[in-house]
Amino acid sequence: MANLIAAEMDRERLRQMLVALEAKQRLIELLTAYVDGRQQEVRVVVGLEQASPAMQDFVLIGASAQLGNANQGTVALIAPTRIQYQEMIHAVRYIAQISGRILDVPTE
Protein backbone atom coordinates (compact mmCIF):
# COMPACT_ATOMS: atom_id res chain seq x y z
CA MET A 1 0.00 0.00 0.00
CA ALA A 2 2.85 2.38 0.84
CA ASN A 3 4.28 1.85 -2.66
CA LEU A 4 0.99 2.93 -4.21
CA ILE A 5 0.92 6.08 -2.12
CA ALA A 6 4.54 6.84 -2.96
CA ALA A 7 3.87 6.24 -6.67
CA GLU A 8 0.89 8.60 -6.54
CA MET A 9 3.04 11.24 -4.80
CA ASP A 10 5.74 10.76 -7.45
CA ARG A 11 3.18 11.22 -10.25
CA GLU A 12 1.93 14.39 -8.60
CA ARG A 13 5.48 15.71 -8.17
CA LEU A 14 6.25 14.87 -11.79
CA ARG A 15 3.10 16.66 -12.90
CA GLN A 16 4.09 19.69 -10.85
CA MET A 17 7.59 19.64 -12.35
CA LEU A 18 6.24 19.44 -15.89
CA VAL A 19 3.89 22.35 -15.24
CA ALA A 20 6.82 24.34 -13.87
CA LEU A 21 8.94 23.56 -16.94
CA GLU A 22 6.32 24.03 -19.65
CA ALA A 23 7.83 27.20 -20.96
CA LYS A 24 11.08 26.70 -22.83
CA GLN A 25 12.31 30.07 -21.61
CA ARG A 26 11.90 29.01 -17.99
CA LEU A 27 14.08 25.97 -18.58
CA ILE A 28 16.76 28.07 -20.25
CA GLU A 29 16.69 30.52 -17.35
CA LEU A 30 16.98 27.65 -14.88
CA LEU A 31 20.04 26.19 -16.59
CA THR A 32 21.64 29.61 -17.06
CA ALA A 33 21.16 30.45 -13.38
CA TYR A 34 22.67 27.24 -12.03
CA VAL A 35 25.14 25.85 -14.59
CA ASP A 36 28.13 28.01 -15.48
CA GLY A 37 29.37 27.26 -19.00
CA ARG A 38 32.92 28.21 -18.05
CA GLN A 39 33.18 25.52 -15.37
CA GLN A 40 34.14 22.00 -16.22
CA GLU A 41 32.82 20.56 -12.98
CA VAL A 42 29.40 19.02 -12.45
CA ARG A 43 27.08 21.32 -10.51
CA VAL A 44 24.52 19.89 -8.07
CA VAL A 45 21.69 22.12 -6.83
CA VAL A 46 19.25 20.61 -4.33
CA GLY A 47 15.89 22.33 -3.98
CA LEU A 48 15.04 24.54 -6.91
CA GLU A 49 12.32 26.51 -5.14
CA GLN A 50 14.01 29.82 -5.97
CA ALA A 51 13.36 29.08 -9.63
CA SER A 52 9.85 27.79 -8.97
CA PRO A 53 8.07 26.84 -5.73
CA ALA A 54 6.81 23.64 -7.39
CA MET A 55 10.41 22.46 -7.76
CA GLN A 56 11.35 22.49 -4.07
CA ASP A 57 11.72 18.69 -3.93
CA PHE A 58 13.89 18.43 -7.04
CA VAL A 59 17.60 18.45 -7.75
CA LEU A 60 19.43 19.74 -10.81
CA ILE A 61 22.68 18.06 -11.82
CA GLY A 62 24.34 19.82 -14.72
CA ALA A 63 27.61 20.18 -16.59
CA SER A 64 28.85 22.05 -19.63
CA ALA A 65 29.56 20.21 -22.85
CA GLN A 66 32.91 21.67 -23.92
CA LEU A 67 34.70 21.58 -27.24
CA GLY A 68 38.18 22.81 -26.48
CA ASN A 69 37.64 25.96 -24.45
CA ALA A 70 34.26 26.73 -26.04
CA ASN A 71 31.00 25.88 -24.32
CA GLN A 72 28.77 23.94 -26.71
CA GLY A 73 25.78 23.55 -24.41
CA THR A 74 24.61 22.06 -21.15
CA VAL A 75 23.84 18.52 -20.11
CA ALA A 76 21.49 18.47 -17.15
CA LEU A 77 19.26 16.17 -15.18
CA ILE A 78 16.29 17.31 -13.10
CA ALA A 79 15.02 14.63 -10.75
CA PRO A 80 13.42 14.10 -7.33
CA THR A 81 15.82 14.70 -4.46
CA ARG A 82 15.84 11.01 -3.48
CA ILE A 83 17.97 9.75 -6.38
CA GLN A 84 21.30 7.94 -6.45
CA TYR A 85 23.44 11.08 -6.54
CA GLN A 86 26.80 9.48 -7.24
CA GLU A 87 25.49 7.50 -10.21
CA MET A 88 23.67 10.51 -11.66
CA ILE A 89 26.68 12.80 -11.23
CA HIS A 90 28.88 10.27 -13.06
CA ALA A 91 26.27 9.91 -15.82
CA VAL A 92 25.96 13.67 -16.38
CA ARG A 93 29.76 14.09 -16.36
CA TYR A 94 30.19 11.23 -18.84
CA ILE A 95 27.52 12.49 -21.23
CA ALA A 96 28.97 16.02 -21.12
CA GLN A 97 32.43 14.64 -21.92
CA ILE A 98 31.33 12.44 -24.81
CA SER A 99 29.13 15.24 -26.17
CA GLY A 100 32.26 17.34 -26.57
CA ARG A 101 34.00 14.48 -28.34
CA ILE A 102 31.05 13.84 -30.63
CA LEU A 103 30.91 17.53 -31.56
CA ASP A 104 34.65 17.50 -32.31
CA VAL A 105 34.28 16.19 -35.87
CA PRO A 106 37.53 16.52 -37.85
CA THR A 107 37.19 18.46 -41.08
CA GLU A 108 38.96 17.17 -44.14
Residue 6 lies in a domain: yes
| Number of domains observed in the structure of the chain | 1
Residue 45 lies in a domain: yes
Residue 108 lies in a domain: no
Could you list the pLDDT tens digit for every one of the 108 residues in the chain? 555 556 777 788 887 777 777 656 677 777 777 777 666 688 888 887 777 777 788 888 988 887 666 667 788 888 888 889 999 999 999 998 888 677 665 655
Exposure b/e, 65-101, CB count within 10 A at least 16 = b: bbeeeebbbbbbbbeeeeeeeeebbeebbebbeebbe
Q: State which residues form the domain around 67.
A: 2-103
CATH number at residue 9: 3.30.450.40
For residues 73, 63, 49, 24, the Cα torsion angle rounded to the nearest 10 degrees is 20
Q: What pTM was estimated for this model as a whole? A: 0.66
Residue 43 DSSP label: E
